[in-house]
Structure 1
Amino acid sequence: MIKHAIRILLCLGAAGFLFACNKPDPNHLSWKERRAASLAAQQAKEKGVPAVAKAPEPVKKSPQELFAERCQVCHRLKGRGGEAGPDLTGISRRANSDYVASVVCDPDTHFPGTGMPSFAGQFTDQELHDLAEYVCGVK
Protein backbone atom coordinates (compact mmCIF):
# COMPACT_ATOMS: atom_id res chain seq x y z
CA MET A 1 0.00 0.00 0.00
CA ILE A 2 2.75 2.46 1.00
CA LYS A 3 4.89 1.48 -2.00
CA HIS A 4 1.92 2.11 -4.28
CA ALA A 5 1.35 5.58 -2.74
CA ILE A 6 5.05 6.43 -3.15
CA ARG A 7 4.94 5.38 -6.82
CA ILE A 8 1.90 7.58 -7.41
CA LEU A 9 3.59 10.56 -5.74
CA LEU A 10 6.76 10.04 -7.80
CA CYS A 11 4.73 9.86 -11.01
CA LEU A 12 2.82 13.03 -10.12
CA GLY A 13 6.07 14.80 -9.26
CA ALA A 14 7.67 13.71 -12.54
CA ALA A 15 4.61 14.83 -14.49
CA GLY A 16 4.69 18.22 -12.77
CA PHE A 17 8.40 18.57 -13.50
CA LEU A 18 7.92 17.74 -17.18
CA PHE A 19 5.00 20.15 -17.42
CA ALA A 20 7.09 22.95 -15.90
CA CYS A 21 10.05 22.21 -18.19
CA ASN A 22 7.84 22.24 -21.29
CA LYS A 23 6.85 25.89 -20.87
CA PRO A 24 8.62 28.31 -23.20
CA ASP A 25 11.29 30.49 -21.65
CA PRO A 26 9.72 33.94 -21.12
CA ASN A 27 13.15 35.52 -21.74
CA HIS A 28 13.56 33.81 -25.12
CA LEU A 29 12.74 35.97 -28.11
CA SER A 30 11.94 34.61 -31.53
CA TRP A 31 14.00 35.74 -34.52
CA LYS A 32 11.22 38.16 -35.53
CA GLU A 33 11.05 39.64 -32.03
CA ARG A 34 14.85 40.08 -31.86
CA ARG A 35 14.87 41.73 -35.29
CA ALA A 36 12.04 44.10 -34.32
CA ALA A 37 13.84 45.05 -31.10
CA SER A 38 17.07 45.62 -33.01
CA LEU A 39 15.34 47.87 -35.56
CA ALA A 40 13.59 49.83 -32.81
CA ALA A 41 16.89 50.36 -30.99
CA GLN A 42 18.60 51.49 -34.21
CA GLN A 43 15.78 53.95 -35.00
CA ALA A 44 15.87 55.33 -31.47
CA LYS A 45 19.65 55.79 -31.71
CA GLU A 46 19.28 57.67 -35.00
CA LYS A 47 16.70 59.97 -33.40
CA GLY A 48 18.95 60.60 -30.41
CA VAL A 49 16.73 58.75 -27.96
CA PRO A 50 18.71 56.98 -25.23
CA ALA A 51 18.61 53.19 -25.56
CA VAL A 52 17.92 52.70 -21.87
CA ALA A 53 15.22 54.65 -20.11
CA LYS A 54 16.11 56.21 -16.78
CA ALA A 55 14.55 54.60 -13.76
CA PRO A 56 11.91 56.77 -12.17
CA GLU A 57 12.93 58.62 -9.04
CA PRO A 58 11.68 56.93 -5.90
CA VAL A 59 8.73 58.64 -4.32
CA LYS A 60 9.94 60.72 -1.42
CA LYS A 61 7.78 60.47 1.66
CA SER A 62 7.30 63.12 4.27
CA PRO A 63 8.41 62.43 7.85
CA GLN A 64 4.72 62.32 8.79
CA GLU A 65 4.11 59.57 6.22
CA LEU A 66 7.17 57.64 7.39
CA PHE A 67 6.02 57.86 11.01
CA ALA A 68 2.51 56.73 10.06
CA GLU A 69 3.85 53.75 8.09
CA ARG A 70 6.66 52.57 10.35
CA CYS A 71 6.26 53.95 13.87
CA GLN A 72 2.59 54.61 14.54
CA VAL A 73 1.76 50.91 14.75
CA CYS A 74 3.45 50.85 18.18
CA HIS A 75 3.96 54.49 19.20
CA ARG A 76 1.56 57.33 19.89
CA LEU A 77 2.17 60.88 18.76
CA LYS A 78 -0.28 63.64 19.62
CA GLY A 79 -2.86 61.11 20.81
CA ARG A 80 -2.79 58.88 17.72
CA GLY A 81 -1.16 55.51 17.24
CA GLY A 82 -0.43 52.26 18.98
CA GLU A 83 0.21 51.59 22.61
CA ALA A 84 2.86 48.83 22.49
CA GLY A 85 5.68 51.39 22.67
CA PRO A 86 5.99 54.65 24.56
CA ASP A 87 4.15 57.82 23.59
CA LEU A 88 6.66 59.98 21.72
CA THR A 89 4.82 63.27 22.14
CA GLY A 90 7.21 65.73 23.78
CA ILE A 91 10.21 63.40 23.44
CA SER A 92 12.45 66.43 22.86
CA ARG A 93 12.22 67.18 26.61
CA ARG A 94 14.11 63.93 27.20
CA ALA A 95 16.14 63.36 24.02
CA ASN A 96 17.50 65.08 20.93
CA SER A 97 17.01 64.02 17.31
CA ASP A 98 20.41 62.28 17.11
CA TYR A 99 19.44 60.06 20.04
CA VAL A 100 16.03 59.30 18.49
CA ALA A 101 17.72 58.34 15.20
CA SER A 102 20.13 56.11 17.10
CA VAL A 103 17.26 54.33 18.87
CA VAL A 104 15.46 53.80 15.55
CA CYS A 105 18.53 52.07 14.09
CA ASP A 106 19.69 50.15 17.18
CA PRO A 107 16.94 49.92 19.80
CA ASP A 108 18.50 46.98 21.69
CA THR A 109 21.52 49.08 22.65
CA HIS A 110 19.28 51.64 24.34
CA PHE A 111 16.34 49.49 25.45
CA PRO A 112 17.28 45.79 25.48
CA GLY A 113 14.48 43.27 25.50
CA THR A 114 11.69 45.65 24.56
CA GLY A 115 10.99 43.92 21.26
CA MET A 116 11.35 47.05 19.16
CA PRO A 117 12.72 46.01 15.77
CA SER A 118 15.76 47.69 14.28
CA PHE A 119 15.04 49.92 11.31
CA ALA A 120 18.72 50.16 10.33
CA GLY A 121 19.09 50.39 6.56
CA GLN A 122 15.38 50.93 5.99
CA PHE A 123 15.63 54.71 5.69
CA THR A 124 17.98 56.93 3.76
CA ASP A 125 20.15 59.16 5.93
CA GLN A 126 17.94 62.11 5.01
CA GLU A 127 14.72 60.23 5.82
CA LEU A 128 16.12 59.15 9.19
CA HIS A 129 17.21 62.70 10.00
CA ASP A 130 13.87 64.18 8.93
CA LEU A 131 11.89 61.53 10.84
CA ALA A 132 13.86 62.14 14.05
CA GLU A 133 13.51 65.92 13.67
CA TYR A 134 9.77 65.52 13.10
CA VAL A 135 9.26 63.34 16.18
CA CYS A 136 11.31 65.73 18.32
CA GLY A 137 9.41 68.71 16.96
CA VAL A 138 6.00 67.45 18.07
CA LYS A 139 5.15 68.99 21.43
Structure 2
Amino acid sequence: MNRSLYLIPLLLLPLWASSCSKGEEQDKAPQGRKSIPFPERLTGEPLFNEYCLSCHKVRGKGGSMGPDLTAVADRRDPRFIEQAIREPSTLFPGTVMPPFDRFSKKEIDSLVDYLWSLK
Protein backbone atom coordinates (compact mmCIF):
# COMPACT_ATOMS: atom_id res chain seq x y z
CA MET A 1 0.00 0.00 0.00
CA ASN A 2 1.19 3.49 -0.84
CA ARG A 3 2.37 5.38 2.28
CA SER A 4 1.80 8.78 0.62
CA LEU A 5 -1.97 8.29 1.00
CA TYR A 6 -1.49 8.50 4.76
CA LEU A 7 0.49 11.75 4.46
CA ILE A 8 -2.18 13.66 2.51
CA PRO A 9 -4.43 14.31 5.53
CA LEU A 10 -1.40 15.39 7.57
CA LEU A 11 -0.33 17.83 4.86
CA LEU A 12 -3.83 19.28 4.55
CA LEU A 13 -4.33 19.76 8.28
CA PRO A 14 -2.32 23.05 8.56
CA LEU A 15 -4.13 24.44 5.52
CA TRP A 16 -7.52 23.55 6.98
CA ALA A 17 -6.57 24.94 10.41
CA SER A 18 -5.43 28.27 8.97
CA SER A 19 -8.72 28.73 7.12
CA CYS A 20 -10.71 28.36 10.35
CA SER A 21 -9.25 30.84 12.79
CA LYS A 22 -10.56 30.57 16.32
CA GLY A 23 -13.94 32.27 16.75
CA GLU A 24 -14.15 33.25 13.08
CA GLU A 25 -17.24 31.14 12.48
CA GLN A 26 -19.05 32.71 15.46
CA ASP A 27 -18.40 36.25 14.23
CA LYS A 28 -19.85 35.64 10.79
CA ALA A 29 -23.53 36.55 10.41
CA PRO A 30 -25.71 35.64 7.46
CA GLN A 31 -25.73 38.35 4.81
CA GLY A 32 -28.17 41.13 5.57
CA ARG A 33 -28.24 40.36 9.31
CA LYS A 34 -26.30 42.15 12.01
CA SER A 35 -24.12 40.02 14.26
CA ILE A 36 -25.43 39.96 17.84
CA PRO A 37 -23.12 38.84 20.64
CA PHE A 38 -24.44 35.87 22.59
CA PRO A 39 -26.00 36.00 25.08
CA GLU A 40 -27.81 39.22 24.38
CA ARG A 41 -28.33 41.14 27.62
CA LEU A 42 -31.68 42.80 28.13
CA THR A 43 -31.78 46.43 29.24
CA GLY A 44 -34.40 49.07 29.98
CA GLU A 45 -37.95 48.35 28.93
CA PRO A 46 -37.29 44.79 27.63
CA LEU A 47 -35.59 43.92 30.94
CA PHE A 48 -38.55 45.36 32.85
CA ASN A 49 -40.99 43.43 30.66
CA GLU A 50 -39.09 40.19 31.24
CA TYR A 51 -38.63 40.41 35.02
CA CYS A 52 -41.02 42.99 36.46
CA LEU A 53 -44.19 43.25 34.36
CA SER A 54 -45.74 40.08 35.73
CA CYS A 55 -46.08 41.78 39.15
CA HIS A 56 -45.96 45.53 38.37
CA LYS A 57 -48.21 47.54 36.10
CA VAL A 58 -46.94 50.27 33.78
CA ARG A 59 -49.29 52.34 31.62
CA GLY A 60 -52.18 49.98 32.24
CA LYS A 61 -50.30 46.78 31.34
CA GLY A 62 -48.90 44.18 33.69
CA GLY A 63 -49.63 42.50 36.98
CA SER A 64 -51.26 43.82 40.11
CA MET A 65 -49.28 42.03 42.83
CA GLY A 66 -46.88 44.99 43.15
CA PRO A 67 -47.54 48.71 42.92
CA ASP A 68 -48.20 50.49 39.62
CA LEU A 69 -44.86 51.98 38.58
CA THR A 70 -46.12 54.31 35.84
CA ALA A 71 -45.44 57.44 37.90
CA VAL A 72 -42.78 56.12 40.30
CA ALA A 73 -40.36 58.85 39.14
CA ASP A 74 -42.80 61.49 40.40
CA ARG A 75 -42.64 59.99 43.90
CA ARG A 76 -39.11 58.58 44.27
CA ASP A 77 -35.55 59.51 43.34
CA PRO A 78 -33.28 57.22 41.25
CA ARG A 79 -31.26 55.99 44.25
CA PHE A 80 -34.43 54.88 46.01
CA ILE A 81 -35.61 53.05 42.89
CA GLU A 82 -32.22 51.32 42.58
CA GLN A 83 -32.32 50.18 46.20
CA ALA A 84 -35.92 48.99 45.78
CA ILE A 85 -34.78 46.78 42.91
CA ARG A 86 -31.62 45.45 44.59
CA GLU A 87 -32.84 45.14 48.19
CA PRO A 88 -36.63 45.60 48.36
CA SER A 89 -36.96 44.16 51.88
CA THR A 90 -34.75 46.89 53.35
CA LEU A 91 -37.26 49.51 52.19
CA PHE A 92 -40.42 47.44 52.44
CA PRO A 93 -40.14 44.87 55.25
CA GLY A 94 -42.30 41.82 54.58
CA THR A 95 -42.44 42.40 50.82
CA VAL A 96 -42.75 39.37 48.56
CA MET A 97 -40.59 41.04 45.91
CA PRO A 98 -37.33 39.13 45.50
CA PRO A 99 -34.03 41.00 45.54
CA PHE A 100 -32.58 41.45 42.06
CA ASP A 101 -29.01 41.58 43.33
CA ARG A 102 -27.86 39.35 40.46
CA PHE A 103 -28.43 42.19 37.99
CA SER A 104 -25.33 44.05 36.86
CA LYS A 105 -24.86 47.77 37.52
CA LYS A 106 -25.67 48.41 33.85
CA GLU A 107 -28.91 46.43 34.06
CA ILE A 108 -30.02 48.22 37.24
CA ASP A 109 -29.13 51.61 35.74
CA SER A 110 -31.11 50.77 32.61
CA LEU A 111 -34.16 49.76 34.68
CA VAL A 112 -33.93 52.99 36.69
CA ASP A 113 -33.53 55.00 33.47
CA TYR A 114 -36.58 53.29 31.97
CA LEU A 115 -38.72 53.95 35.04
CA TRP A 116 -37.42 57.53 35.17
CA SER A 117 -38.39 58.00 31.50
CA LEU A 118 -42.03 57.35 32.35
CA LYS A 119 -42.13 60.65 34.22
Higher RCO, 1 vs 2 (CA within 8 Å, ≥6 residues apart)? 2
What is the CA–CA distance in structure 2 between the aligned matches of 1:109 and 1:52, rounded to whole Å?
47
Aligned to 2:4: none
Could you tell me which residue of structure 2 aligns to residue 66 of structure 1? 47
1:117 is paired with a residue whose SS is coil
Deviation at 1:117?
0.5
State the number of aligned residues: 102
Q: Spell out, residue by residue over 1:49-69, the C-alpha distance to the aligned partner (whole angstroms, 9 max, x if none).
A: 227976943213241111111
Q: Please report the TM-score for the alignment, with normalisation by the length of structure 1.
A: 0.61
Structure 2 segments unaligned to the other structure (5+ residues): 1-8, 28-36
- Aligned residues of 1:75 and 1:85 also touching (Cα < 8 A): yes
Higher helix share: 1
Tell me which residue corresponds to 2:86. Answer: 105
Matches within 5 A, 1:96-135: 96-121=77-102, 123-135=103-115
1:40 deviates by 8.3
Could you tell me the percent identity over the aligned residues? 31
Please show how residues 1-139 of structure 1 align to structure 2 within 5 Å: 42-47=14-19, 49-50=21-22, 56-121=37-102, 123-139=103-119
The alignment partner of 1:130 has SS state of helix
Q: Is the 8 A contact 1:75 1:81 kept in 2?
A: yes
Q: Which residue does 1:18 correspond to in 2?
A: none
Partner of 2:3: none
Residues 72-93 of structure 1 deviation map (CA, whole Å, 9 limit, x = unaligned): 1110111111000001111111
Q: Please list the CA deviations of residues 5-34 of structure 1 after superposition, one character each: whole Å capped at 9, or x if unmatched.
A: xxxxxxxxxxxxxxxxxxxxxxxxxxxxxx
Q: Distance in 2 between matches of 1:42 and 1:51?
A: 17
How far apart in 1 are the matches of 2:101 and 2:40?
Answer: 20
TM-score when scaled to structure 2?
0.70
43-52 or 100-109, which moves further after superposition? Answer: 43-52
